Structure 1
Amino acid sequence: MKKALVVIDVQKLYTDEESDMYCEDSAATVDQINKLISEFEKRKEPIYLIRHVHKVDGSDLGRMFDFSGEPEEDFNFKEGSDEVEYDDRLKIPKSCLEIVKNRYSAFEGTDLEKHLQKAKVEGVVICGFMTNFCCESTARSAHDKDYFVDFVLDATGTPGTENIDEKEMRKFVGECLESGFSRVMSTEDFMSERNK
């Protein structure tokens, strides 16, 4: 089965220690993502880099921040800001294709599915940030579009919430997805399975 790697939002908003959305495990998460990128690059399989960006005037926000409590003019992912740049540690292959989104799911309002169809991809491998928003939303969307989904849990990151830390959040999301949307595995298990 032909698979594609979907690398979601490896942006400084999540990896800069000064950010209010900083993920404490971000360095380890980026390391795992880079291992996956190297694996797909070696096999010459499709890699899609997803970047979340909003217009400075907020005209493309839609319902994105209705529940965050943020004032409408003070939103994340503003075009041109440092926080939307890729983390400096991210390995960016020349062969990858960038897709810019402005919703949680990488499928919503983008041409990701068109590219997957053109490449005759049947399965997607999900990694990136945030585990419980963009990665989870993309995994669920992919499942509903009849793609086989592998969710590489330790190659995702989240700052967690006020009541749930990063590790607990990842575990919870993994259990939810595993119950009906995707296979959930570690980077090591994914690589072992591929290299049997």
Structure 2
Amino acid sequence: MKILFKSKMVLCLTLFSFLFINAQQKRNMENTALLMIDIQNDYFPGGKMELAGAESAANNAKKVLENFRKNNLPVIHIKHIATNEGAGFFLSDTSGVEINSLVSPKSNEKIIIKHFPNSFRETDLLKYLQKKGIKNLVITGMMTDVCVDSTVRAAFDLGFKNTVVGNATATRDRTLNGQTIKAAEVQRSFLAGMSALGNMYAEIVSDIESF
């Protein structure tokens, strides 16, 4: 009887712990939206501005997207259309400007068009988030050191708590003073910068299960 009683107690405690963790995870996702920044065809193989690891990053972003959809959480797709003189990619009315099929928006998901790296600049993103009561952002997308970084820092200044899914972002090689900085180094450096000073700008996680 004692063994049976102990077994039942262990089972009850295990079930309680599972339910508590589940409830805690749901609470953590309250007032949270997903930003999918510029996951567009020109960044993929054959595009006009191919990134290192774009397909891998997009597949990881897809997993995050599926999790948000499963939990009926808000999803916002950011789409860049170039309007600056001399732009060579994300040109209007080209296939390269379209959001990649791996993360195609559903009809009920918000699409915001931007023309600057910062997703808040001259868009209705802030107004939309405020209307939805969003306080926390989960961010994926491209390029890590340009549009993702500028959006994260702007979001922090506007009072949002940010989480960046690091392996769902991507960039490319850069040059400085005639030297090439490899994409992987750029990636690490910018993610490290966002998480500086105790995750001031953003917490960096590796997958959807981390938050």
Q: TM-score, with normalisation over the residues of structure 2?
A: 0.78
Q: How many angstroms apart in 1 are the aligned matches of 2:87 and 2:138? A: 33
Q: 1:167 and 2:195 equivalent?
A: no
Higher-RCO chain (CA-CA 8 Å, sequence separation at least 6):
1
Larger radius of gyration: 2
Q: How many angstroms apart in 2 are the aligned matches of 1:125 and 1:108? A: 19
Q: 1:126 aligns with which of 131, 139, 143?
A: 139
Bigger share in helix:
2
Instruction: Give the deviation of 1:117 after TM superposition.
Output: 0.6
Residues 80 and 156 from structure 1, CA distance in 2 versus in 1: closer, same or farther, beyond 3 angstroms?
same
**Paired residue total:** 175
Q: How many angstroms apart in 2 are the aligned matches of 1:88 and 1:38? A: 14
Deviations 1:46-80 (A, max 9, x none): 100000003xxx4xx2xxxxxxxxxx435322111
Partner of residue 107, structure 2: 94
Deviations 1:67-97 (A, max 9, x none): xxxxx43532211112101112224233210
Q: How many angstroms apart in 2 are the aligned matches of 1:182 and 1:192? A: 14
Q: Map residues 10-49 of structure 1 onto 2, 5 A cutoff.
A: 10-15=39-44, 17-49=45-77
User: Which amino acid counterpart does residue 186 of structure 2 have in structure 1?
Assistant: M
Q: How many angstroms apart in 2 are the aligned matches of 1:128 and 1:176? A: 17
Residues 186 and 80 from structure 1, CA distance in 2 versus in 1: closer, same or farther, beyond 3 angstroms?
same
Instruction: Give the deviation of 1:120 after TM superposition.
Output: 0.5
What's the % identity of the aligned pairs? 26
User: Which amino acid counterpart does residue 182 of structure 1 have in structure 2?
Assistant: A
Contact kept, 8 Å, 1:122 with 1:147, in 2: the verdict is yes
User: Which amino acid counterpart does residue 95 of structure 1 have in structure 2?
Assistant: N
Instruction: Give the deviation of 1:151 after TM superposition.
Output: 1.1
Question: How large is the RMSD of aligned CA atoms in angstroms?
Answer: 1.5
Aligned residue for 2:50, secondary structure, equals: coil
Q: How many angstroms apart in 1 are the aligned matches of 2:73 and 2:36? A: 13
Instruction: Give the deviation of 1:19 after TM superposition.
Output: 3.1
For structure 2, list consecutive stretches of 5 or more residues without a partner in the other structure.
Answer: 1-29
Aligned residue for 1:117, secondary structure, equals: helix
User: Which amino acid counterpart does residue 135 of structure 2 have in structure 1?
Assistant: E
